[in-house]
Amino acid sequence: MKKAKTEIEETVVFRPGGTDRAIRELAQATHRLTTRRIRDSLPGRIATKRLVLRAPIRGDVPDLVRLADNKAIAEKLVRLPSPYTRADAVGFVEIFAQRPDERPYAITLGDRLIGVIGFTFFEGKPPELGYWLGEPHWGKGYMTEAARALIEAAHRTHHFELIAARALADNAGSLNVLEKVGFKRVKQTRREAGKIKDRPTVSLELVRPRWM
């Protein structure tokens, strides 16, 4: 006597948001991989006439604290903590600087850190240039020199077709640096949140020259 075959039907359960969540996670993973590739296309060390741009290291912590713990700098930046502590400096070197969506460089003069410059990468947006310079070194052209060198290095990778930047409308020094290295103003808005909420902010963009 033959046994009757038993048919087992598989039931596919569609959970609300399951497919959308999978699509979002795939998009996020793709963004991380793309960002990492672009981030890693940048050189590890950039030398100029007076400066060297390199990865932040633990030995930079004392200079980071000494220079970044300055209200004159913090009041112009969205993400710089104030007061700026040793824990902030260690976290910057060991955590923030290792993130795939960040590529900071220590700006060094004679092997000593004098500021920070780098790119932040956003999904669906151009990379954004950000920086700060220790107050004892203002007015000497160091930031313009560092920004120009980093932008030229980025353009040589051919991954940076458009670079964005932002500065407070009353931050004449930063706007002057950005315009010296080729950025053009595109709009002015007001921050809706954070420590510089409601302060006018200028958005700028830089298109990669065709000859680069």
The secondary structure of 141-192 as a DSSP string is SHHHHHHHHHHHHHHHTT--SEEEEEEETT-HHHHHHHHHTT-EEEEEEE-S
pLDDT at site 30? 57
Identify which of 142, 204, 194 has the alpha carbon closest to the alpha carbon of residue 171: 204
C-alpha distances in angstroms, 19 versus 32, 108, 109?
20, 48, 52
What pLDDT shows up at residue 212? 61
User: How many alpha carbons lie under 13 Å from residue 121 in its C-beta half-sphere?
Assistant: 24
pLDDT of residue 7: 47
For residue 117, what pLDDT is reported?
Answer: 98
Residue type, position 24, single letter: R
**pLDDT value at residue 29:** 59
Quick one: tokens of 184?
Answer: 């053009």
Mean pLDDT by 10 residues, the chain (212 residues): 48 59 63 74 96 98 98 91 96 95 97 97 93 97 98 95 95 96 94 71 93 66
Inter-axis angle of helices 61-68 and 86-94, to 10 degrees? 120
Residue 45: predicted pLDDT: 97
**C-alpha dihedral sign at 70, 99, 35, 145:** positive
